[in-house]
Amino acid sequence: MIKKIILSGFTLLLLGGCNPEMGRLPFESDVGCLRKELSSDTHPSFQIAANYCQQDDHGVPLPLKLKGALDLQMQAEKTNIAYTN
């Protein structure tokens, strides 16, 4: 029983590594995700980064939550990507 708990904890630790290429991190905000992706070489355009960071509800993309990030709101408007304040 103890071995299973330790093995489960170790597995979660390995899966939760901080590799910037691994995808959207759990509990990461839309603003944080966009800023991280736009600063990387992987997603050079706002539209690609937004598609990557946008969460979905059963296959339907949810609007990005960009409260307090006026620069990202302007880019979202420019590329016709839905967002909320």
pLDDT of residue 32: 92
Give the tens place of pLDDT for each residue, 26-85. Answer: 788 999 999 988 888 776 789 988 888 888 888 888 899 999 999 999 999 999 999 998
pTM: 0.68
pLDDT of residue 52: 86
pLDDT of residue 74: 95
* Residue spans per domain, the chain: 28-85
SS (H, E, C) 2-15: HHHHHHHHHHHHHH
Instruction: Give every CB contact of residue 16 below 8 A, 6+ residues apart in sequence.
Output: 26
